[in-house]
Structure 1
């Protein structure tokens, strides 16, 4: 009887931890839209004067999953070059404005938008790219319809946004470039790191259980959320940027993806920068490296 109780308790513990882990992925704690604006401004990462003064248009794009994606188009003197910027998890498009200013100075139109289950966009769960990459396809289609079929399009993503942008490359090789800032190389590998670092737990069997519950609740297969696989399949040039002191998404993940095709790719590791802090930590180097990368591939 005691043994049976112990077994039941152990099984219940495994199931609960697996369920909680899956919910940390598919139901992340959301920071309210207006709060993300305040955080960006107060931390000096966003120039509110530039954002308020620059010409922009609020847009709504139809997701293939039946909800609306909210965003802004920031045009740039009839430019035929556009960059679509993808923000990180729990956040909103305001996390993308610091990058928007960089690309706007380089002559690009800008699209920033809220991912599903974030900001003002619809959707009830987050899958870190499994469904989001198809939303990105809808945004790209909108850009071509609005700005013309000759528009050259690049991508920029931060953290989860970088993972989404990289996974999109496996769907579409007609992208001119991608800048992937502090993205993870493989979701289950990242979850294993977080289990070990945050909870001192092994990856097996908790990763299996999290995958099961995520599939049950959303239909998404977390095992397929693997940006490094898309990098291997794609010929699109990628600039990887990562903070040397990133203890949330380990820096080695960008280094590993960079090595998959380093003849076309570029790597910037910013000393002293934490997660998603490469541009704020060293804006001069970051902007210079982005410009150099674009010039190398004749995108300026």
Structure 2
């Protein structure tokens, strides 16, 4: 082999090693709780934290709050906040936060309509967030089983519990994934700006954050990500899980969402075979609908009242 071929082979080997290393770094950057992505440019934090009632809402959510804990199926210590509702109520909601949201009051705005109605509220810290153990964020896939087990914890304490799952962003994908497991006691789902699957969301993030194409870096990165999550990302389709849901679903999405692309709404919605409706907030960016629509909570409650009464819910918001 002449020197030119040796040099070419060396270059190819170094390039491949570099791609593998970069893909590993990219996947770790996205999933490792020690090195989370900074998503400030994609979330309208200013609107959230300048919301005049933020502190008051957090205080209401924190009233009489207890800490629940359990062990996940793979041995992690998980924690959740529990705010008691009316003593005679069997209405429960599990509020699932988005990626990187460690603040215990991060779901305070979403909780307000449930508080007014006297619901019991559980706010789990997803694995690798807050007081819950875990090195790697599962992007809603291993968390789906955690949520099913939280439902089990609720039903052990209240055998008549009727549970609603309400999640935003990664939490939105989590509740759809969990509902696809058809857990006993689940009554309805509210999925706000949920993505269609981890691989698809990684591809969208890679383009938005780094300008990277799917091949070859992303294809290598998903191999690492799948290893850390515990399954091939080909198996982590939120859309496929949504097709297995048996309870009514309200899909919510901001039309200006660039982080979880708006078109993912229709892909999940179309896959859903159970009673469903959608609510589109025209001027909302990612995870911002609750702040942009003053009637967000009332619309969610109207949906849930129809679920309880058995009324028709199809097209109750005419898709807008």
Q: Which residue of 2 aligns with 1:290?
A: 300
Q: Is the 8 A contact 1:70 1:120 kept in 2?
A: yes
TM-aligned CA deviation for residue 204 of structure 1: 2.2
Aligned positions of 1:1-300 closer than 5 A? 1-28=6-33, 29=35, 42-44=49-51, 47-53=54-60, 54-78=63-87, 79-92=89-102, 93-146=104-157, 148-174=158-184, 175-261=186-272, 264-284=275-295, 286-298=296-308
Q: Which residue of 1 aligns with 2:41?
A: none
Describe the shift of the 1:157–1:21 C-alpha distance in structure 2 as closer, same or farther (beyond 3 A): same
Describe the shift of the 1:299–1:254 C-alpha distance in structure 2 as closer, same or farther (beyond 3 A): farther
Q: Secondary structure at the match of 2:159?
A: coil
Q: Is the 8 A contact 1:238 1:266 kept in 2?
A: yes
Q: Is the 8 A contact 1:255 1:267 kept in 2?
A: no
Q: Aligned partners of 2:134 and 2:65: how far apart in 1?
A: 25
TM-score, structure 2 as length reference: 0.83
The runs of 5 or more residues in structure 2 that have no matched partner are 1-5, 38-44, 311-320
Name which of structure 1's ranges 273-282 and 123-132 shifts more when overlaid on structure 2. Answer: 123-132
Describe the shift of the 1:132–1:40 C-alpha distance in structure 2 as closer, same or farther (beyond 3 A): farther
TM-score, structure 1 as length reference: 0.88
Describe the shift of the 1:235–1:172 C-alpha distance in structure 2 as closer, same or farther (beyond 3 A): closer
Instruction: State the number of aligned residues.
Output: 292
Name which of structure 1's ranges 195-204 and 44-53 shifts more when overlaid on structure 2. Answer: 44-53
Q: Aligned partners of 1:187 and 1:58: how far apart in 2?
A: 30
The runs of 5 or more residues in structure 1 that have no matched partner are 32-37
Q: 1:189-234 CA deviation, whole Å, 9 max, x = no partner?
A: 1212222233232212333312222244453322222111011111
Q: CA RMSD in A?
A: 2.4
Moved >6 Å (runs of 4+): 38-41
Q: Aligned partners of 2:170 and 2:52: how far apart in 1?
A: 18
Kindly name which structure, 1 or 2, has the bigger radius of gyration based on alpha carbons: 2
